[in-house]
Amino acid sequence: MLLQCVRMEQKKLRHSYLWLVFLVIPVIPAVMGGGNYLQNIGILEAEWYSLWTQCSLFYSNFFYAPLIALYCAYIWRIEHLNHNWNQLMTMPIPIKDVFLAKLCLALLCTIALQGWLWVLFVITGKVVGLTGMPPLKIFSWILRGSIGGMGIAALQLVLSMIIRSFAVPIALALLGSIIGLLINNGGLGLFWPYALMLMGMNANQTEDMVGSVIGYWGSAGVFLLVFTIMGIWWLGKKDVVAS
């Protein structure tokens, strides 16, 4: 049943232009990062690592979480409009499968965004004159960031389910990222999902910020599980609403 729900959600998104948004917007932090690198090339001597500090500074703090939020908001906007919510809630489908299907697509979105980031990072490096390929360690940071982003995806899915406004959850994701930067600087990144994503990506750093691998994965798993349970519980309590 869950697989059927995932296919149903994919059909709803078939005619959307989200793919274009996700292709174009990440180009902005890549260009900004490359420009910053060229302007400070005299003091940025670690080549690919230095370029990563510049690209990740903009992408992780201002773009990644809001893009996830945009995807989650769009997934639920379809249900919030045209009385689709009542139709959804009266279908012979387990409530948990409804939420999990949307979550599966949101999680795929977090991974796809990171994959596109890697491609843009390599292209940016070549444009600014770097030789060879980026170290695999940076690629591992990108993958690790997607793990941290999964908790954000689950949280944003819950927020977009509860809040009918399309823009508010996206604004909250941006605010969460900014707060996450402050919390991460205070050494408490494991306790805030947006900061966890910054840690995973090693944003604006050349040295690894994740001290405990077990702690990082444990925190990421807890956030994902808690927000998923919360979303399924709330959806079951919401039931059919008045038109």
Please report the pLDDT score of residue 242 as a whole number.
Answer: 44
pLDDT in tens, the chain (243 residues): 788 888 877 887 877 888 899 999 999 999 999 999 999 888 887 899 999 999 998 999 899 999 999 999 998 887 777 666 666 666 777 888 889 999 999 999 999 999 999 999 999 999 999 999 999 999 999 999 999 999 999 999 999 999 988 999 999 999 999 999 899 888 888 999 999 998 989 887 777 777 778 999 999 999 999 999 999 999 887 654 444
173, 195 contact by CB (below 8 A): no
List % helix, strand, coil for the chain (3-state, nearest 5).
75, 0, 25
Helix/strand/coil for 90 = coil
Q: For residues 169 and 197, what is the distance between their CA atoms, to the nearest angstrom? A: 17
Nearest to 195 by CA among 176, 210, 209: 176
Give the Cα separation of 224 and 236 in Å (integer): 18
Q: Give CA separation, 30 vs 27, 54, 90, 107, in Å.
A: 5, 9, 44, 22
78-102 pLDDT per residue, tens: 777 766 666 666 677 788 888 999 9
Please tell me the predicted confidence (pLDDT) of residue 71: 94
187 Cβ contact partners less than 8 Å away, ≥ 6 residues apart: none
Identify the pLDDT of residue 113: 94
Best CA proximity match to 98, nearest among 33, 150, 157: 157
Place of tokens 């994959």: 115
Given this model, what pLDDT does residue 147 score? 93
Predicted confidence (pLDDT) per residue in 26-36, tens digit:
999 999 999 99
- Return the structure tokens found at 108: 């795929």
